[in-house]
Homo-oligomer: A and B are copies of this chain.
Amino acid sequence: MTNHPVPQSPSIIGQRVPKMDAMDKATGRIEYGHDVRLPGMLVGKILYANVPHARIVSIDTSRAKKIAGVKAVLTAQDTPRIKFGFGKDNLPLKDKVLSRRDEVAAVAAVDEDAAYEALALIRVEYEPLLPVFDAFDALEPGAPRVHESRPSNLFDQYDYAHGDGARGLDTADVVVEDEFEIGWATYAALEPTTCMAQWDTQGRLTIWSPTQIPFLLQRDLSEALGISGRDVRVLQPAIGGSFGRGLDVYPIEPICALLAKAAQRPVRIIFSRDEEFLAVATRQPVKARVRSGAKRDGTLWARDFHLTLDAGPYISWGALEPLVMMEAVASLYRVPHARFVADVVYTNNLVSGAVRGYGNPQGTFFVESSMEHLARELGMDSVEFRLKNANRPNEETPQGLKITSCGLRECLMEAAERIGWGNPTSNFQLPTSKLRRGIGIAATLNVGGGARIYKSDGCGATVKVDDFGRVTLVTGSTEIGQGSETALAQITAEALGVRVEDVSVVNNDTNIKPWDVGTHASRTTFIAGKAVWIAAKKVQAQILEKAGEMLGAPVESLEMRDRMIRAKNDAAKAIAYDRVVRAMHYREGGVVLSADGWYDPPTQIVNKETWKGNISAAYGFGAQAAEVEVDLETGKVRVLKIVAAHDVGKAINPMAVEGQIEGGVTMGLGFALSEALQVQDGRILNPTLLDYRVPTALDVPKIETVIVETHDPEGPFGAKGVGEQPVNPTAAAIANAVFDAIGVRVTSLPLTGEKILRALKEQNPKTE
């Protein structure tokens, strides 16, 4: 027999693959929480306090209970009084009001009309208490205490230092100082929050939730309800946007469960758009006092950052955001001395939480604005300054981050080159024009190999192959739109030599899927991908062994591609992989194919004393450059172009990576220019999508994405996470470009026309 050379078909890894759910989303066939219907389902509605701080003197629900169709009316006295949430300071329904969004009563009724009518008939008598709306005020002695049981309004303080800490600035040649302020922003997910709860006849609860953390929800919700975690099953409908919204248990879940229990019927709560603005968490508002110093030669020398975060009345996982802000301060660029202090403070404002980037957009804005300031003070090109101090591969930062792959320099150079850095014509305007153009740049460091903020950062996977060649991947991980299920299907398909469409991904039922800590920290493709690869390789090994026997070829000579197994050096030796699978089943001592994989990265929980430790198994880097045009008459900033260059290790699905980058940039654009909740005395003044200005398609500039591949040694196929890093540097790059355009630094986000005009006027009072 002649040996025929076997052509190598291209690998599935690195191919542009449309997201598996794209068609269903585009055609409206996908089932969101709103589409889940159960027989006998009731509508649940919540009554909010709408006073910022008060004792509840009495609640009269008697009239509400008489409304036809009302099946349950609950107040605090009907609910377990178990404190829940990250800060163990929240209750489903409150007996004391700590913010306007506090839930004081809830009803379940056969339809929305009856539910709203009942809400309107609940009479609550409040005894007002003095509120506190400013985090600095809240830290003053004698300030009203948000939680009476706590000694002060300071929930937690992060105090980190390396090198000489703040004293490092004493030995710097140039020091700059700034104050920054970032207010409230919201997720503005297109899908408002939903929850469905049903108790079975054995007293077990099933909850349908667009959560990002099904297993932590299982735990946290069971604790809030005072039942065993064994008796909570979490089902995840398709998720129409989350961005961190689903990282916590919020009162909606226990309220929904308690209504369902009281009514003995399934209850579904769907937030109205107002409610979505009011009752979900916000991005952590932060005020920062920042100093950075450098040596004359452009060596970054020291940083001293003091941050104050307004957590609102209940602490969420977002309270951990200083951990990430700290990474930007202590580890983005090589900096020998750093101090970082962050106070997380209770107030009677909105509840703040974790939003995509998890504090990194805020931290990066501070760091990269300060870097720009410092470069100007040094009289140094700011790209050159950044390149000189950029992180490099295989270095451990003083904070303990073990950087393996690192493409920061490449990203900076790509972004700079493609925005036209150093090209003097780009910034030229006729002196008579009221328009000024500028360019700016900013970089980011983001965890890209998980983030151990919980005891387990692991994820499990099971791969099975049926007789027909259908591959099922059961993954612990959660798809929230990031496209990781497609990447996981690609990894499975790559291992087994099948097509992506041959893989079904099962990922939405805690009864079925193995543990995963949840979708956060850009971890899914990295962590879940490793677990999938481990499971799929076990299945692969079994198939190849049998195929070798059937083909009469050594296992090492075989490759699996496009549903076939072939001897690499002999094209005549080929067999369809599903025939091999059937042959393994239909024989004496046969088997059906299934294998498990589990991956928990070799990382550390950050030490709570030193705040050091290698939290992630890999770090992603990126740089974005923006070109803007500022209208001197209106202050309006128009972004003309953004170049986004990101080190993603290996792009398993470049199309999805581009989607993440474009989505991140767009979110960063809103963060930079328009998205702000107007909050006055704890009340949101603009709770509509018309007034809360998410960028529309017309607002989004040309985004040039550059994928920098560094092939991480630990990541699956060299991949690193990319979910969050594209949102981090956008605002800083735009702010730096505005500085470049008009010579004025606006230190508060968003960069509204009003703020820019005010800054211009301060700079040159005669302009007007």
Contacts and interface: CB of A to CB of B under 8 A. Distances in A.
A202 B26 CA distance: 13
A497 to B, nearest CB: 14
Interface in A2-56: 23-24, 27, 29, 31, 35, 37, 39
Given A200-B24, A201-B23, A219 B468 contact: yes
A384 B323 CA distance: 85
A467 interface: yes
Interface in A403-459: 455-456, 458
Interface string A537-566: 000000000000000000000000000000
**Taking each of A455, A460, A502, A515, which has the highest tally of chain B beta carbons within 10 Å of its own beta carbon?**
A515
B512 A455 contact: no
A457 to B, nearest CB: 10
A586 B457 CA distance: 9
A694 to B, nearest CB: 27
Nearest to A29: B201
A474 B466 CA distance: 15
A202 B515 contact: no
Contacts of A39: 29, 31, 35
Contacts of A501: 202
Nearest to A593: B514
B592 A470 contact: no
A595 B219 CA distance: 23
B594 A466 contact: no
Given A27-B201, A456-B590, A592-B458, A585 B515 contact: yes
Contact of A511 (B200, B219, B458, B472): B472
A598 interface: yes
Nearest to A501: B202
Interface string A495-513: 0000001101010001110
Given A230-B502, A455-B586, A462 B27 contact: no
B460 A592 contact: yes
A570 interface: no
A148 B437 CA distance: 85
B23 A467 contact: no
A599 to B, nearest CB: 10
A29 B264 CA distance: 12
Given A27-B201, A458-B590, A506 B511 contact: yes
A229 interface: yes
A162 interface: no
Contact of A456 (B233, B515, B585): B585
A504 B206 CA distance: 12
B467 A201 contact: no
Nearest to A468: B229
Given A202-B23, A228-B468, A590-B600, A511 B515 contact: no
Contacts of A472: 511-512
Contacts of A467: 215, 219, 229, 515
A75 interface: no
Contact of A233 (B31, B504, B591): B504
A514 B23 contact: no
A596 B598 contact: no
Contacts of A202: 23, 501
A42 to B, nearest CB: 15
A145 interface: no
Given A202-B501, A462-B462, A592 B29 contact: no
B506 A230 contact: no
B506 A512 contact: yes
B230 A470 contact: yes
A222 interface: yes
A469 interface: yes
Interface in A590-610: 590-592, 594-596, 598, 600
A209 interface: no
Contact of A24 (B201, B228, B466, B502): B201
A218 interface: yes
B586 A456 contact: yes
A464 interface: yes
A230 B469 contact: yes
A14 to B, nearest CB: 22
A228 B590 contact: no
A57 to B, nearest CB: 39
Contacts of A466: 215, 218, 229-230, 510, 515
B515 A504 contact: no
Contacts of A589: 600
Given A35-B39, A474-B512, A222 B586 contact: no
A469 B589 CA distance: 33
Contacts of A468: 218-219, 222, 228-230, 232
A586 B218 CA distance: 17
A492 to B, nearest CB: 14
Interface in A678-717: none
A468 B511 CA distance: 11
Contacts of A460: 592, 594
Interface string A279-302: 000000000000000000000000
A514 B230 contact: no
A595 to B, nearest CB: 8
**Taking each of A39, A502, A506, A514, which has the highest tally of chain B beta carbons within 10 Å of its own beta carbon?**
A514
Nearest to A516: B592
Nearest to A578: B230
Contacts of A592: 458, 460, 514-515, 598
A229 B464 contact: no
B594 A462 contact: yes
Contacts of A29: 39, 200-201
Interface of A: 23-24, 27, 29, 31, 35, 37, 39, 200-202, 215, 218-219, 222, 228-233, 455-456, 458, 460, 462, 464, 466-470, 472, 474, 501-502, 504, 506, 510-512, 514-515, 578, 585-586, 589-592, 594-596, 598, 600
Given A23-B201, A218-B468, A591-B598, 5 more contacts: A219-B468, A228-B468, A229-B468, A230-B469, A456-B585
Q: Top 7 closest A-B pairs, CB basis?
A: A229-B468, A23-B201, A455-B586, A230-B470, A515-B592, A230-B468, A504-B511
11 contacts: A29-B200, A37-B37, A218-B468, A228-B468, A229-B466, A230-B470, A466-B510, A466-B515, A474-B512, A514-B594, A594-B596
